[in-house]
Structure 1
Amino acid sequence: MNEKSFSKVALAGTALITVAIWVLLAWSHYHGGVPSHHFLARADMPEISNWWGGLLLPVLTGLLLYRIRRQAFGKPDSYCEPTQALLRALYGFGGALLFGTLIAVLFTAGESDMAGNVMLSLFVFAFFVPIYRPECLLGFVLGMTYTFGAVLPMIIGTGLGLVGLVLHAYLRRGLVYAGAKLLPTNKPGVNG
């Protein structure tokens, strides 16, 4: 896939997400009202209406797809081909979509403790996989939008992405560097 065709796909995807969120909001409006959600599901925290998702989700989708395009096609000296970068982005998106959907399903089923534990397991996962990439945030938000609206998953996903960046790009890299310095290496030709 070339950059021009990806741009067309990104535009169509943004339009599809825009239509989908507004259809969901309209359906909710005529079937009991558009819900609002308290941050962290606590009544003493601020309440955010799902109406905000009608504005946030199309903008977020467009921006994140733009970032994915820049990652895949923006650097001519990139370490991987655009096709590989897009395939990696597709896997990240799919994994995050499934992860967000799992949390939403567990929460809807009344298993909020289990959903919290699954969320915490993400920190271990983030040590090995770069969950801070834009495709992961997009998949996570889309997976949780039906249950929680778009605003809360975006806030939580951004926070998780920042923690994932620290764990994967800095802590992991530092531990690998320290491990390489501490472990003895056998250098050829050196008898000691």
Structure 2
Amino acid sequence: MTKSSSTKLKYCVIAATILFVAAHLLWEHLNGGILSHHLMHHSDYPSISNWWGLLILPFLAWLSTLRIEKRVTLQPSDAPVRAKILRGALFGFFGMLVLSLVQSLSFSVGYESVAIYLSLGLVLVGLFLPIYRAECIFGYVFGSIVFTGAIIPLIGILLIAGISWLSHVCIKPLVFRVIREKFR
């Protein structure tokens, strides 16, 4: 992938994200007004407007394309390695997108326990898979914008991504070091 094609792809992803969020907000505006969601789903807590999606999602799109581009350019000019990185990024984005859609839909139709179990499962999966990557966070927030806005899912996925990062960057190397020392 050349520099100009990756730049074009980055701008296309950001533009598509902006168009999707703007279309969603326009639809909300024409159907009763822009929604606001309460923290912890309690009306006593402050509400957060869906307008924040116009800032958050394009930023996450930019950040994820930037991080993927950096991972690809840090590799040698080996096409299979670069293709593997891009496949992993797409898998992470679409996997989190589908999970977020299922979780948000189940919460919206009254199956809160399914949404909670999916969140707990995501924490467990995050111990073994790097869901702290920007494309995973972007996919999760992008999938939930229609049902719950952008801020609340962003807060939740940042907490889970922090656990995943801690597991992969701090705990996993320590475990491997202990295992390596033990079997030396």
Aligned to 1:158: 158
Please list the CA deviations of residues 137-163 of structure 1 after superposition, one character each: whole Å capped at 9, or x if unmatched.
111111111111112222222221111
1:102-160 residue CA offsets vs partner (Å, 9 max, x unmatched): 11111112111220111011121112111111110111111111111112222222221
Using the TM superposition, name which of 146-155 and 79-88 deviates more. 79-88
Query: 1:31 is matched with which residue?
Result: 31
* RMSD of aligned residue pairs (Cα, Å): 2.0
Q: Tell me the distance in 2 between the aligned counterparts of 1:146 and 1:23.
A: 11
Structure 1, unpaired ranges of 5+: 186-192
Normalised by the length of structure 1, the TM-score is: 0.86
Q: Distance in 2 between matches of 1:43 and 1:176?
A: 47
Say whether the 8 Å CA contact 1:3–1:69 is kept in structure 2.
Answer: no
Contact 2:127/2:163, CA 8 A, preserved across alignment: no
Superposed displacement of residue 36, structure 1: 0.4
Match of 2:179 in 1: 179
Deviation at 1:16, TM superposition (A): 0.8
Question: 1:138 corresponds to which residue?
Answer: 138
Q: Quick check: which has more Rg, 1 or 2?
A: 1
After the TM superposition, which segments of 4 or more aligned residues of structure 1 sit over 6 Å from their partners?
Answer: none
Distance 1:170 1:146 in 2: 35
Larger helix share, 1 or 2: 2
Give the C-alpha shift of residue 78 in structure 1.
9.0
Q: Is the 8 A contact 1:7 1:69 kept in 2?
A: no
Contact 1:127-1:172 within 8 A present in 2 as well: no
Q: Does residue 32 of structure 2 align to residue 46 of structure 1?
A: no
For residue 178 of structure 1, report the CA deviation from its aligned partner: 2.4
TM-score normalised according to structure 2 size: 0.90
Q: SS at the partner of 1:119?
A: helix
Residue 66 of structure 1 aligns with which residue? 66
Taking the aligned partners of 1:174 and 1:122, their CA distance within structure 2 comes to 23
